[in-house]
A and B are shown apart, each in its own frame.
Chain A
Amino acid sequence: MDEPTTLNETPVALAGPGMENQTSRVSKRSGSTSPSGELWWRKRFRLAEFLVEKLVTAIAFLSFAFIVLIFAFVFREAAPVFSSSREITPVTSKPAEQETYGEEQLGDAQRGALTREREKTPVEQTGEGSATVRNLVGKTWQPVSSQPKYGLLPLVIGSLKVTIVAVLIAAPIAIFSALFTSAFAPKWAKEVLKPTIEILAGFPSVVIGFFALIAMATFFQNAFGFEYRLNAFVGGVALSLAVIPIIYTITEDSLTRVPRVMTEASLALGATRWQTALFVILPAATPGIFAAMLLGIGRAFGETMIVLMATGNAAIVSGNFFEPVRTMSASIGAEMAEVVFGDTHYTVLFLIGSILFLFSFTLNAIVEIFVRQRLMRRFQGQ
């Protein structure tokens, strides 16, 4: 690490030799290959070196610039929500449309409502929509109608429901599997499990969504007799498949980083392997597991394709986990392609995107700043 830094400072280091080299510039131009000319070459070369370093640094800094740009532009498009001073449309509670993609479970009346909604789309765009704060906290999400309502509550509830199901299923499975790999598993089991997790992580989310939509939803409906084929529970189970690899990988990583001394001390004191695993290794890795859970929640909350395909997409406010839900991310995915650029609906969708971005950013910041440092301190302080 030391040699490179000294080399970096070449412009400064060369200040001495450079002074006595004033004449060399002349000799170089006259085509001489004297030692001083060679020195001049080296000086110019160091200048290139300096420029390359600055260029590399600048490009590396792009990642940060992108984060700032994402911040700026997602918020820029969402900003008109807060500046709009248009009249407040009264919030009336109307039964929400059951807009599901697996349409087989739709009743005829609902299907009719759906097509009416779709036919209305071109007309609605001329109508004035309003997205004031009061409208935004409403209970109805009905952006496409003559009296558009942008109540975010059903979407937030939908996202929460799906995330809760996904994390409640994924976390125990992933954490116990990680414990299995690091504490109990014979070598062959590790060699099966680790690539399997990598395969699971490599599944495109649209593939998991497709599997949930076609196979899993039908299976669950037959097995448990759900009223709706696509619902928050099915979406949550499918989502847990995407969350498991994240929680597993980070948990496993922090479990293996628990110092051997701790394990050995526990075993030497007469504790059995499972006692050591459960009462020594697992507690020592708590910050890592906490980080894994946070990142898993972040993934579940922001995932789009799986919930878009497997949750039924009906914006209703209810506490029932077996009813269809429409999540925040799915609303963006389903509606953004059809909105008019710049109108209220467009703005509100960007507002939802800003919320998603802020949420994931906060979780990540907590993990980065708080958890990682604490984990490092804990293991180094031993």
Chain B
Amino acid sequence: MKTLRQKLFGLSVPALSALCAFVIVLMVLLIIGDIVLGGWGTLSWEFLSGVPKEGMTAGGIYPAIFGTFLLVVIMSIVGVPIGTITAIYLSEYASQRSILARVVRFAVNTLAGVPAIVFGLFGLGFFIQFVGIRMDQVLTGGVQLKWGQPNILWASLTMALLTLPVVIVSVEEAIRAVPRELREASLALGATKWETIRKVVLPNSITGILTGAILAVSRGAGEVAPILFTGAAYFLPKLPGSLSDQFMELGYHIYIMSTQSPDVEATRGIQYATTLVLLVLTFTLNFAAVFLRYRIRMKSIR
């Protein structure tokens, strides 16, 4: 009796766990399949390079692609240096037991867990309502509302905050993969700590910094919640020309088109194709990151 039960379990536990794994793979394939099939028909060069026409029911998504690009570029310019320096601090300067290092680490982990929408609220409450309004008061005497309203700068800064933990974790891993002997050799030759970091550690972890930046861009391009009310716009006839302009964004475009468009059914093709573009974009970035990380790990083993 007992052996029968054991046999049953012996079959069912691995089978159940394999089934669960299979369900995950199946769901991923389903999503990708559905979006590729739904979006393939609409995708064309005109779609990628055109502007929305006829009340958003026709035309392309170029402004949204451009807006997303601009968003992640500004975000990276701000976020990647801060993230890299924090990673340098955590791996090179801080001793593991120091309270300050633990506080920083705790803050980074907390930052990674804060809901995206709260970042959006922070962007609104801090960047727009606090910093922006004060900038207007100083620059134009409060007559004109220029910075105290949603725009691409505030959206990018909000997104930089959101993606900061991604950069830090990835860069720190890369810095730790730099062999200890290299550092010791540099120090033994009389280089100071900063010289060692600048000329030995950083050049050797450049792929890691790149990985961090790519992962952050992939995350930033996909998040919509933080930019809902910090700068994304439903429709703009022209591309953003300055930091105080609003912008269109791919993810926001998907959300708007699929929930608030006057005729949801008629624009289904555009919705699917936009989703496909966003998916291809994030996939490409993620694969690049996986590839780079693989190379780092190989190097650290060698």
Contact = CB atoms under 8 A, between A and B. Distances in A.
Interface of A: 1, 3-5, 7-8, 10, 45-46, 48-49, 52-53, 56-57, 59-64, 66-67, 69-70, 73-74, 76-77, 101-104, 172-174, 176-177, 179-181, 183-185, 189, 192-193, 195-200, 202-211, 213-215, 241, 244, 248, 272-275, 277-278, 295, 298-299, 301-305, 308-309, 329, 332-333, 336-337, 341, 349-350, 353, 356-357, 360-361, 363-365, 368
B164 A63 contact: yes
Interface in B81-134: 82, 85-86, 88-90, 92-95, 100, 103-104, 106-111, 113-122, 124-126, 129-130
Contacts of B264: 102-104
A309 B260 CA distance: 10
A214 B268 contact: yes
A364 B109 contact: yes
B113 A363 contact: yes
Given A4-B92, A70-B118, A206-B251, 9 more contacts: A67-B107, A69-B122, A173-B20, A180-B18, A272-B6, A305-B224, A336-B120, A356-B117, A357-B115
A61 B117 contact: no
Contact of A274 (B14, B108, B115, B168): B14
B64 interface: no
Nearest to A59: B85
Interface in B12-26: 13-14, 16-21, 23-25
B278 A73 contact: no
Contacts of A60: 85-86, 88-90, 93-94, 104
Contacts of A349: 121
Contact of A361 (B114, B126, B228, B259): B114
The 10 A-B residue pairs with the shortest CB-CB distance, nearest first, are A302-B115, A204-B222, A60-B89, A180-B17, A101-B259, A176-B20, A64-B107, A304-B225, A274-B13, A353-B121
Contacts of A207: 31, 35, 222, 254, 275, 278-279
B124 A336 contact: yes
A213 B282 contact: no
21 contacts: A48-B194, A56-B88, A60-B94, A63-B107, A63-B168, A69-B122, A73-B125, A74-B118, A77-B129, A101-B258, A101-B260, A172-B20, A173-B20, A193-B21, A203-B282, A244-B24, A248-B24, A304-B224, A336-B121, A357-B118, A360-B113
B40 interface: no
A350 B128 CA distance: 14
Most chain B CB within 10 A, of A180, A195, A244, A365, is at A180
B13 A278 contact: yes
A8 B93 contact: yes
B107 A184 contact: no
A202 B275 contact: no
B106 A368 contact: yes
B271 to A, nearest CB: 7
Nearest to B81: A59
B224 A205 contact: yes
A176 B17 contact: yes
A309 B259 contact: yes
Contact of A49 (B114, B124, B194, B218): B194
A172 B264 CA distance: 36
Nearest to A4: B193
Interface in B253-294: 254-255, 258-260, 264, 268, 271-272, 275, 278-279, 282-283, 286, 290
Given A61-B104, A274-B10, A195 B223 contact: no
B118 A204 contact: no
Most chain B CB within 10 A, of A64, A196, A206, A301, is at A206
Contacts of B225: 205, 304-305, 329, 333
B212 to A, nearest CB: 14
